[in-house]
């Protein structure tokens, strides 16, 4: 009898020890953790002209988040998204990770309940058919098959969205005139550069967004290293596409850039809160801005680069706003509303935290046409 009492007492500790051994946190490529289908369902870049050419819906509001988790703060961010009357979410990776007890008992995020609980968290607040799109993150691979099926269900349940390709890894979608790429570049798969380039060049949508999870070191203000490569960033800039990412558990936004590799700020459009989007031609450089919106509910990390911690920041003066633990950041989301004030070429953005504080505000002018 005493044996069983001891076993009952020590078994949870044994499980936690084993789970922790299996769940050492690192940012290694997920291809070492699980086998994921990376073969593209379609090898073409054909996008229906009628869908692409459709003018973006007036006042279309999009929430951008990453690094979410299943927790109270994540729920508050989702409630904020609902309260802001958002039309859709683009999630740049790391869905259900990383602080659940399940992680310790079963090892990383491979337990199917993590993905199901994550989707239930969204459904409980936003509803089962809310337009919710995501790109794979480095903590999503162990359960990617389930995550992808759940994301695909939301696509299938919405008549206003069309997606092509391997959803969340090498895919393009159009929702109410907004064109966006959901890429696993830097994380899993290959030939991402050519896919991104071809997809952008074959789209005549006015507003385009490139979304992936990881970063280049200079495209975030935390401690992350180069993971994506510069070609995807430059392809998106040259085609006048906004670049959205996560991974660093911070929020940061650049000014208008005419070169992402060198972090070159536009000579004329160098204001903090006015951004120009333009396509590269023989007579002008393409321009865009890059942001990391990675405080969707999980831990918030430090600003490690481009100090000081107040504006004007260091490096090349490319950062318009930095919001991290140094700035006592709280979880939140970046909201961008497209086609505002009756102007299809104008958008307004703001970052709001779960205390309803507006941290960042800016206007985007689109000159790609």
Residues in the chain: 369
- Which CATH code fits 46-366? 3.60.21.10
Residue 54: per-residue pLDDT? 66
List C-alpha distances in Å: 253 to 84, 192, 197, 272, 298. 21, 24, 23, 9, 19
Burial class (CB in 10 A: 0-12, 13-18, 19+), 202: middle
Output the six-digit token pair for 54: 């459709």
Give 291-323 pLDDT, tens digit per residue: 999 999 999 999 999 999 999 999 999 999 999
Between 112-121, 123-132, 171-180, the lowest mean confidence (pLDDT) is in 112-121
Output the six-digit token pair for 307: 């100090």
* Averaged pLDDT of the chain: 88
| Residue closest to 151 by CA, chosen among 137, 54, 341 | 137
Q: Coil, strand or helix: which one is 77?
A: helix
What's CA 154's distance to the chain center, in Å?
17
DSSP-H helix ranges across 84-135: 101-106, 112-126
Identify the band that residue 111 occupies on the pLDDT scale cut at 50, 70 and 90: low
Q: Is 104's pLDDT higher than 70?
A: no
Radius of gyration of the chain (CA): 20
On the CB side of 114, how many CA atoms lie within 13 Å of its CA?
A: 28
Give 253-299 pLDDT, tens digit per residue: 999 999 999 999 999 999 999 999 999 999 999 999 999 999 999 99
Gap between the Cα atoms of 67 and 296, Å rounded: 6
Peptide bond into 98 cis (omega under 30): yes
| Residue closest to 162 by CA, chosen among 174, 180, 179, 176 | 174
Q: Coil, strand or helix: which one is 219?
A: helix
Global pTM value: 0.88
Please count the other Cβ atoms lying within 10 Å of the Cβ belonging to residue 288: 29
Burial class (CB in 10 A: 0-12, 13-18, 19+), 153: middle
What's CA 10's distance to the chain center, in Å?
41
Residue 103: per-residue pLDDT? 53
Q: What are phi and psi of 151, to 5 degrees?
A: -65, -40
Pick 343 or 107 by higher pLDDT: 343
Output the six-digit token pair for 272: 């903090």
Edge to edge, the sheet with strand 60-65 lists 132-134, 88-91, 60-65, 332-340, 343-353, 358-366, 274-277
Residue 40: per-residue pLDDT? 57
Residue 14: per-residue pLDDT? 42
Q: For tokens 């507006």, what's the residue?
A: 358
Q: Are 66 and 214 spatial neighbours (Cβ–Cβ below 8 Å)?
A: no
List C-alpha distances in Å: 207 to 17, 100, 196, 321, 346. 49, 37, 15, 22, 10
Residue 175's DSSP bridge partners are 161, 178
Which residues, 6 or more positions from 237, have their beta carbon under 8 angstroms from its beta carbon?
243, 257, 258, 259, 260, 280, 286, 287, 288
Of all residues in the chain, the percent with pLDDT exceeding 90 is: 78
On the CB side of 170, how many CA atoms lie within 13 Å of its CA?
A: 25
Domain ranges of the chain: 46-366
Gap between the Cα atoms of 113 and 297, Å rounded: 19
What's the CA angle centered on 259, arms 257 and 263, to 5 degrees? 70
Residue 141: per-residue pLDDT? 86
């Amino acid at each position: 009898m005493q044996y069983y009492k001891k076993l009952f007492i020590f078994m949870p500790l044994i499980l936690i020890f084993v789970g922790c051994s299996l769940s050492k946190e690192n940012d290694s490529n997920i291809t070492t953790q699980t086998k994921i289908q990376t073969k593209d369902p379609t090898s073409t870049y054909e996008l229906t002209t009628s869908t692409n050419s459709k003018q973006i819906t007036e006042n279309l509001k999009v929430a951008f988040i990453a690094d979410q988790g299943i927790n109270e703060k994540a729920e508050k961010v989702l409630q904020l998204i609902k309260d802001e009357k958002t039309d859709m979410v683009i999630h740049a990776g790391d869905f259900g990770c990383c602080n659940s007890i399940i992680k310790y008992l079963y090892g990383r995020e491979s337990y199917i309940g993590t993905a199901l609980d994550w989707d239930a968290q969204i459904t409980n607040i936003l509803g089962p058919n809310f337009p919710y799109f995501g790109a794979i993150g480095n903590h999503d691979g162990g359960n990617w098959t389930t995550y992808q099926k759940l994301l695909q269900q939301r696509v299938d349940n919405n008549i206003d969205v069309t997606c092509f390709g391997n959803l969340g890894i090498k895919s393009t979608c159009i929702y109410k005139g907004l064109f966006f790429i959901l890429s696993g570049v830097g994380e899993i798969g290959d030939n991402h550069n050519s896919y991104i380039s071809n997809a952008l060049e074959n789209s005549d949508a006015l507003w385009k967004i490139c979304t992936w999870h990881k970063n280049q070191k200079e495209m975030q203000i935390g401690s992350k290293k180069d993971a994506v490569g510069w070609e995807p960033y430059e392809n998106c800039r040259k085609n006048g596409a906004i670049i959205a990412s996560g991974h660093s558990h911070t929020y940061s936004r650049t000014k208008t850039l005419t070169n992402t590799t060198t972090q070159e700020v536009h000579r004329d459009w160098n204001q903090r809160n006015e951004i120009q989007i333009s396509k590269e031609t023989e007579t002008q450089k393409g321009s865009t801005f890059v942001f990391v919106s990675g405080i969707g509910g999980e831990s918030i990390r430090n600003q490690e680069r481009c100090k000081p911690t107040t504006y004007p920041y260091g490096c090349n003066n490319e950062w318009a706003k930095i919001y991290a633990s140094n700035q006592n950041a709280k979880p939140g989301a970046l909201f961008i509303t497209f086609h505002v004030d009756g102007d299809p070429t104008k958008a307004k953005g703001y970052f709001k935290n779960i205390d309803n504080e507006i941290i960042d505000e800016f206007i985007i002018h689109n000159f790609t046409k």
